[in-house]
Structure 1
Amino acid sequence: MKILLARSAGFCFGVKRATQMAFEAADSHDGICSLGPIIHSPQLVKRLEEKGVEVVRDVDEIRHGAVIIRSHGVTSGELADISDRGLETVDATCPFVKSAQDRAARLARDGYTVVIVGENEHPEVQGIVSYAEGAEVVVVGTREDAARIPARKRIGVVAQTTQSLDNLRDVAGACLDKCQELRVFNTICDATSVRQEEARELARKSDLVLVIGGFNSANTTRLAQLCREIQPRVHHVETADQLEPQWFKGVETVGLTAGASTPGWLIDEVIRKVEGMSRES
């Protein structure tokens, strides 16, 4: 079998930066935790836990030491609580996420109804919502969701950094019908757009596509969805152990891509497993 690996598969700049900061902090602190998983890769989070980085879900669980702010960011209220407790912080928030937070805060200050394109339960989106304090905030996932927004005089739009540009355009178009003034900030990470276009191209060339990354990773899940729109034989896996031999029957070309939170060593393990299956067949 021929294996095609997407050029940008794996860590993006923000995740690479956050991961490096977390491992460096683990080496230099005796007591340290992260508020939520540093990135959406259970395997990498486990490695950090082995180095003493405890994952906590709430600020109240932090007793002492330092706290790492995950790449997806946290809410403004959580940051305030951490500051009030006098805890040392290692802020690994992705700069693109910071930008989305700042844009939402600006729109709120300027009196706009703030529409956030993203997944309501995602920690990044919850963080962005918190920075639009004092404004009416609506989280929408699709153009259809946006079409249900009541008419407002001024609407401002920002996006979860891992959204597709097409979806942002669709939502912005629907919002334009709802207001007299529309302001849109494209807060999608460049790396997201590049990975999504590469995934589409990979799906066109492959008989089977493997998308590697955490099942809790929004950007990885979206890559799999985009590939399925072109090539129905798509499997989203976290590790090489999850590969099934029957997937590869009659397959000549396997496409491989990975989410922005996927470590390189997990990609390498999948490649070795696929190469082994190819030799056996």
Structure 2
Amino acid sequence: MEIVLAKRAGFCFGVKRATQMAFEAADKGGATFTLGPIIHSPQVVQKLEGMGVKVLKTLENLNDGTIIIRSHGVTSEELEEAARKELEIVDATCPFVKKAQEHVKRLSQTGYDVVVVGDADHPEVQGIVSYAEGKVFVVGSWEEAARLPKMKKVGIVAQTTQSFENLKHVVLECLMKGGEIRVFNTICDATAVRQEEAKSLAREVDCMVVIGGYNSANTKRLAEVCTELQPRTHQIETAQELDPAWFVGVNRVGVTAGASTPKWLIDEVIDRIAALDVEKKD
């Protein structure tokens, strides 16, 4: 059985930067915290916890120490609260997410009603929305965009892990909602490239394995686009979840991973698949 790994599987620039900043902060010692998980990888979060970095849901009871801002960013109110409490802030927000936040702030300041294309429950989107000073709407699809009210000026940005197709469909729908429309394509290039690579690989293999946290939006989308082309697609977090039955009759298996998946987890999965192949031949 041949195992084919996608070229750009695993950490993207923003996640790599955030984890490096977090581990460097942990090495310095002292009371260190992250506001929410640093990235959507339970295994990386667990490693940081082993180094004394605790995950907080809010800053309510924190009055000193170092707070690391996760790669998805936080709300403007939370960042202001950290500054007000004079906490040492390590801002590991992905630069692409930061750009989306800035676009929303600028659009709302110049009189645009803002539409954010994304998942309303995702922390990245909640952070982006908080930078709007006027009306802001979150839509996940063109169907949701169709229910938006009429607006004079519409400004559109996207969650960085959205698909370009979804953004395009929402923009087309918004053309019927406003007289003036301004669009910023804030989708991360790494996300688009990974999805295209995953699609290409899914067409060429008998089975796909997508590695990444179940709370990771970009990993979930990778699994979705692969499933559309290769029904034998399985998302896992760790090698222990692999089922030998998935590989019965499989000659080529494709492997890809979300942007929050560390290399050591990918290596473990590949090694385990290779071992399963040996067992099957025996």
* TM-score bracket for this pair, using the shorter chain length: over 0.9
Contact 2:104 2:132 in 1 (8 A): yes
Q: What CA distance in whole angstroms lies between the structure 2 residues aligned with 1:195 and 1:61? A: 40
1:77 partner amino acid: E
- 8 Å CA contact retained: 2:40, 2:215: yes
| 2:174 pairs with 1:179 | no
Q: Which residue of 1 is the match for residue 200 of structure 2?
A: 201
- CA distance in 2 between partners of 1:106 and 1:230 (Å): 39
1:30 shift after superposition = 1.2
How far apart, CA to CA, are the structure 1 residues paired with 2:110 and 2:230? 44
Report if aligned partners of 1:207, 1:253 keep a CA contact under 8 Å in 2. Answer: yes
* Equivalent-residue separation in structure 2 for 1:61 and 1:91 (angstroms): 20
In 2: Cα distance, 1:36 partner to 1:83 partner: 17
The question of whether the paired residues in 2 share the 8 Å contact of 1:29 and 1:66 is answered with no
What is the SS of the residue equivalent to 2:148? coil
Contact 1:11 1:259 in 2 (8 A): yes
**In 1, Cα distance between the equivalents of 2:37 and 2:3?**
31
How far off is 1:151 after superposition?
1.0
Find the aligned partners of 1:50 and 1:56 in 2 and give their Cα distance: 15
Q: Distance in 2 between matches of 1:61 and 1:53?
A: 16
State the one-letter code of the partner of 1:271: I
Looking at structure 2, the residues matched to 182 and 157 of structure 1 have their Cα atoms a distance apart, in angstroms, of: 8
Alignment of 1:1-281 (within 5 A): 1-133=1-133, 135-281=134-280
**TM-score, normalised via structure 2 length:** 0.98
C-alpha distance after superposition, 1:184-235 (max 9, x if no partner) = 0000111001000001001101111000000000000000000011111110
Aligned residues: 280
Instruction: State how far apart, in whole Å, the 2-side matches of 1:144 and 1:152 are.
Output: 17
CA distance in 2, matches of 1:116, 1:277: 44
Code of the residue aligned with 2:194 in structure 1: it is: R
Q: Please say if residues 56 and 62 of structure 1, whose CA atoms lie closer than 8 Å, have aligned partners that are also in contact.
A: no
**C-alpha distance in structure 2 between counterparts of 1:263 and 1:79, whole Å:** 27
| Shift, 1:61, TM fit | 3.3
- Whichever residue aligns with residue 143 of structure 2, its letter is E
Structure-2 separation of matches of 1:6 and 1:106: 37
For 1:193 and 1:41, the matched residues in 2 are separated by 20
- 1:71 deviates by 0.3
**Deviations 1:5-29 (CA, angstroms, capped at 9, x unpaired):** 0000000000000000000000113
Counterpart of 1:140 in structure 2: which amino acid? V
Kept in 1: contact 2:119–2:140 (CA 8 A): yes
Q: Secondary structure at the match of 2:221?
A: helix
The answer to whether the Cα contact below 8 Å between 1:211 and 1:224 also exists between their aligned partners in 2 is yes
Percent same amino acid at aligned positions? 61
Cα distance between partner residues in 2 of 1:65 and 1:171: 42
Tell me, what secondary structure is at the counterpart of 2:150?
Answer: coil
2: CA distance, partners of 1:63 / 1:272:
45
One-letter amino acid of the structure 1 residue matched with residue 76 of structure 2? S
**Do 2:26 and 2:32's aligned partners in 1 also have CA atoms closer than 8 Å?**
yes
The question of whether the paired residues in 2 share the 8 Å contact of 1:18 and 1:70 is answered with yes
CA distance, structure 2, for counterparts of residue 256 and residue 279 of structure 1: 18
SS in 1 for 2:93: coil
- The letter of the residue matching 1:132 is A
Give the letter aligned to residue 158 of structure 1.
V
Distance 2:217 2:135 in 1: 25
**Partners of 2:64 and 2:150 in 1: how far apart?**
48
Contact 2:26-2:53 within 8 A present in 1 as well: yes
